[in-house]
């Protein structure tokens, strides 16, 4: 089932999500629906708060970057960044931020601990694009969006643009 994706400035995107205590059928069904939603969008990542669930759960699939038919879904539950180093700046967009992208600074390399869908603890290192996607998605779990990490001038420009978009949407019902 494709789920509606919340859009900024929806306040639910600003909540700090709570840990997942048990991986039950409800979580597995949510992962299934979130995967369908992410591939349909399409996007390389989707965090539970983006579909209105305030739990620490993130889906990522960056394989599409190599080959548009390739899929490699990765599920991260209660993820933590254990270490970060270096810096990279790259263009980011977000399924919850309409019609906008901007350069964002992130760590080049991170060490992550998370639980997978089988309930196992995994630890791994990620760098470059994969590390960027993970940092972006994990931010969602703390109620943060990439537009919080851009220059105030760019953010002001986006807010102005968004006002117009919202006014147009209202007019068109
Ligand atoms: Zn996002």
The position carrying tokens 């990522």 is 60
The counts of H helices and E strands in the chain are: 3, 7
- Specify the pLDDT at position 69: 85
Residue 106 vs residue 69, higher pLDDT: 106
Q: How far is the CA of 122 from the centre of ligand 1 (A)?
A: 23
CB 82, CB 45: distance < 8 Å: no
Q: Answer yes or no: is pLDDT of 17 > 90.
A: yes
Determine how many CB atoms are found less than 10 A away from the CB of residue 149.
Answer: 17
8-24 average pLDDT score: 97
Q: Answer yes or no: is pLDDT of 173 > 80.
A: no
- DSSP letter assigned to residue 18: B
Q: Is 164 helix (H, G, I), strand (E, B) or coil?
A: helix
Q: How far is the CA of 45 from the centre of ligand 1 (A)?
A: 7
Determine how many CB atoms are found less than 10 A away from the CB of residue 18.
Answer: 11
Q: How far is the CA of 92 from the centre of ligand 1 (A)?
A: 9
- Specify the pLDDT at position 67: 85
Phi, psi of 18 (to 5 degrees): -100, 155
Q: How far is the CA of 11 from the centre of ligand 1 (A)?
A: 14
- Specify the pLDDT at position 66: 84
- DSSP-assigned letters across all residues of 57-86: EEEE--GGGT-TT----EEEEEEEEEEEES
Domains and CATH numbers, the chain: 11-172 (3.90.45.10)
CB 74, CB 95: distance < 8 Å: no
Q: Which residues are catalytic?
A: 137
pLDDT band at 160 (very low <50, low <70, confident <90, very high): very high
Residue 20's region, left for phi above 0, alpha for psi from -120 to 50, else beta, is beta
């Amino acid at each position: 089932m494709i789920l509606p994706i919340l859009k900024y400035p929806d306040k639910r995107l600003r909540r700090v999500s709570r840990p997942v205590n048990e991986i039950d059928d409800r979580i597995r069904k949510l992962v299934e629906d979130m995967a369908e939603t992410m591939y349909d969008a399409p996007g390389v990542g989707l965090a539970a708060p983006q579909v209105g669930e305030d739990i620490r759960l993130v889906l990522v699939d960056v394989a599409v970057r190599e080959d548009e038919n390739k899929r490699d879904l990765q599920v991260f539950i209660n993820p933590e960044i254990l270490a970060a180093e270096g810096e990279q700046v790259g263009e980011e967009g977000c399924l919850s931020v309409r019609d906008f992208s901007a350069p964002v600074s992130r760590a080049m390399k991170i060490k992550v601990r998370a639980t997978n869908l089988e309930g196992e603890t995994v630890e791994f290192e990620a760098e470059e694009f994969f590390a960027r996607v993970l940092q972006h998605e994990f931010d969602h779990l703390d109620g943060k969006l990439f537009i919080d990490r851009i220059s105030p001038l760019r953010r002001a420009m986006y807010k102005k643009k968004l006002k117009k978009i919202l006014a147009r949407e209202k007019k068109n019902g």
